[in-house]
Amino acid sequence: MKKVLVLLVFFAFAETFAQDTISTKVITNFIGKDKFVKGKVVGVRKSTETNLITLNIDVAFPNNIFSVVVSEKLLNRLKIDYNKLKDKNIVVKGVIVNGKESGGLPSIINPQKFAIVK
């Protein structure tokens, strides 16, 4: 019974991803919107001052088109080693910003949801 409940929750969550997920190719059309974004981590950088991790998604720095800024604390809580995120596909949920806090680059800062997907 417990397995059935887990499967139902998984499929409900997967359905939510599918309906609302966008790619980085159309990211600029959704500035200010709360969306799921799927992409491949192509670069990882940790700030020594703030313990924030910046993930470049789909296109590497200096030509990057989208980034995710996440705290090391959140990744630790999710049992994700940021050093092993490169080349992983992820889905994040949050408000897409394009301002000073993101260097003018479309970004999700402190995502509400973060998952590694296949």
User: Which structural domain, as residue segments, surrounds residue 38?
Assistant: 22-117
pLDDT averaged per 10 residues in sequence order, the chain, 118 residues: 48 53 93 96 93 94 92 92 96 89 84 92
Q: Would 66 be classed as within a structural domain?
A: yes
Q: Would 32 be classed as within a structural domain?
A: yes
Q: Would 94 be classed as within a structural domain?
A: yes
Q: Which amino acid is at 69?
A: V
Q: What is the pLDDT of residue 82?
A: 94
Q: How far apart are the first and last CA of the chain?
A: 26
Q: What is the pLDDT of residue 19?
A: 60
Q: Would 3 be classed as within a structural domain?
A: no
Q: Would 98 be classed as within a structural domain?
A: yes
Q: Would 97 be classed as within a structural domain?
A: yes
Q: What is the pLDDT of residue 104?
A: 81
Q: Would 44 be classed as within a structural domain?
A: yes
What is the pTM (predicted TM-score) of this model? 0.80
101 phi/psi in degrees, rounded to 5: -65, -20
Q: Would 82 be classed as within a structural domain?
A: yes
63 phi/psi in degrees, rounded to 5: -100, 15
Q: Considering its fold, how many domains does the chain have in total?
A: 1
Helix extents (H) in the chain: 2-20, 72-77
Q: For the domain that residue 43 is a member of, what is the CATH number?
A: 2.40.50.140
Residue with tokens 């200096």: 62
